[in-house]
């Protein structure tokens, strides 16, 4: 990524870290599923595509992504000028950073507890 994308990723990550609870479900697989699902739907919406709504989980992710995207567009007007590739890079970067922080480096041992 270049410096501009890195700065944009930092801005988006800071917003999500501060305001989005879908990244903090109680098990690691739940967290992964939510991060992927919400950000995949958000990328579709940011690129002007309709949401994927084939399953109840798609609808759940869409509900979170719809609110997220509306807020991101309001707070980060530079997103309107971002192309499809840039949005993909930003969403992939967000996924990677969120997984690293809330799953990989989490100190919450309950995330992978065998009885959960």
Tokens matching residue 45: 């919406």
- pLDDT tens by residue, 18-70: 999 888 888 899 999 999 999 999 999 999 999 999 999 999 999 999 999 99
- For the cut 80, the answer to whether the pLDDT of residue 1 exceeds it is no
Do the beta carbons of residue 33 and residue 45 sit within 8 Å? no
Tokens matching residue 88: 């993909």
Q: Whose structure tokens read 């990244």?
A: 23
Cα 90 to the chain's mean position, in Å?
A: 9
- What pTM was estimated for this model as a whole? 0.91
Q: What is the pLDDT of residue 116?
A: 64
For the chain, give every domain's residue range.
3-109
Tokens matching residue 7: 């700065």
């Amino acid at each position: 990524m270049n410096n501009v994308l890195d700065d944009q990723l930092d801005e988006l990550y800071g917003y999500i870290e501060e305001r989005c609870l879908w990244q903090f479900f109680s098990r690691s697989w739940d967290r992964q599923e939510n991060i992927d699902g919400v950000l995949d739907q958000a990328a579709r919406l940011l690129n002007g595509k309709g949401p994927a709504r084939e399953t109840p989980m798609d609808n759940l992710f869409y509900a979170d992504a719809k609110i997220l995207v509306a807020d991101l567009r309001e707070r980060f007007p530079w997103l309107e000028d971002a192309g499809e590739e840039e949005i993909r890079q930003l969403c992939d970067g967000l996924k990677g950073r969120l997984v690293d922080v809330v799953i990989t480096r989490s100190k919450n041992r309950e995330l992978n507890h065998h009885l959960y």
